[in-house]
């Protein structure tokens, strides 16, 4: 999942501001990627006002047999021309054989900074990944993210 990113310092400032998201009531199939489901939504501030340009996209990747391969939870900033720039992303990969140093090994992005996962979070469950993502982005979800069949 390649994306342009904003500078790390700008990303950290956006991440620190409290925000709330309202996930869709169900996961939807991604029209451009087979075996992928998505939940995307905008965010509001503490007073309920829309935060212009901020969007959350949560994507779950599955192998053809339905086994979950991984997920990427991303906070994007949309620029004036509609281009998406990554603010923060948590990408967890459950593919067999993935090792530290591999391009697809679990990692996170804070703006243009990429951080490889350590053993404490390289294989997070979807729920634990959601908690980490929300804590790192100062994001609360209301209603909660709908449950999906992980396996």
Q: What is the 3-state secondary structure (H, E, C) of the chain?
A: CCCEECCHHHHHHHHHCCEEECCCCCCEECCCCCCEEEEEEEEECCCCCEEEEEEEEEEEEECCCCCEEEEEEEEEEECCCCCEEEEEEEEEECCCCCCCCCCCCCEEEECCEEEECCCCCCCCCHHHHHHHHHHHHCEEECCCCCCCCCC
pLDDT at 63: 75
Dist. CA 149–CA 62, nearest whole Å? 11
Distance, CA of 19 to chain centre: 15
Q: Quote the longest CA-to-CA distance of the chain.
A: 46
Is pTM beyond 0.75 here? yes
pLDDT at 31: 85
pLDDT at 1: 42
pLDDT at 151: 34
pLDDT at 67: 64
Tens of pLDDT along the chain (151 residues) come to 457 999 999 999 999 999 999 999 999 998 888 888 999 999 999 999 999 999 999 999 887 775 668 899 999 999 888 789 999 999 999 876 666 777 778 999 999 999 999 888 998 988 899 999 999 999 999 988 888 765 3
According to the 3-state scheme, what is the secondary structure of 124-149?
A: CCHHHHHHHHHHHHCEEECCCCCCCC
pLDDT at 97: 62
């Amino acid at each position: 999942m390649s994306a342009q990113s904003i500078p790390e310092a700008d990303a950290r400032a956006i991440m620190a501001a409290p925000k709330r998201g309202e996930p869709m009531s169900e996961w939807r199939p991604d029209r451009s990627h087979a075996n992928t489901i998505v939940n995307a939504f905008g965010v509001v501030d503490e007073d309920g006002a829309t935060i212009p340009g901020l969007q959350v996209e949560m994507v779950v990747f599955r192998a053809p047999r339905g086994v979950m391969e991984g997920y990427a939870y991303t906070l994007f900033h949309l620029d004036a021309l509609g281009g998406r720039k990554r603010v923060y992303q948590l990408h967890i990969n459950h593919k067999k054989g993935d090792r530290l140093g591999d391009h697809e090994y679990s990692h996170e992005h804070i703006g243009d900074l990429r951080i490889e996962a350590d053993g404490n979070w390289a294989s997070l469950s979807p729920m634990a990944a959601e908690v980490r993502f929300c804590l790192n982005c100062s994001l609360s979800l209301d209603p909660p993210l709908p449950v999906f069949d992980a396996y």
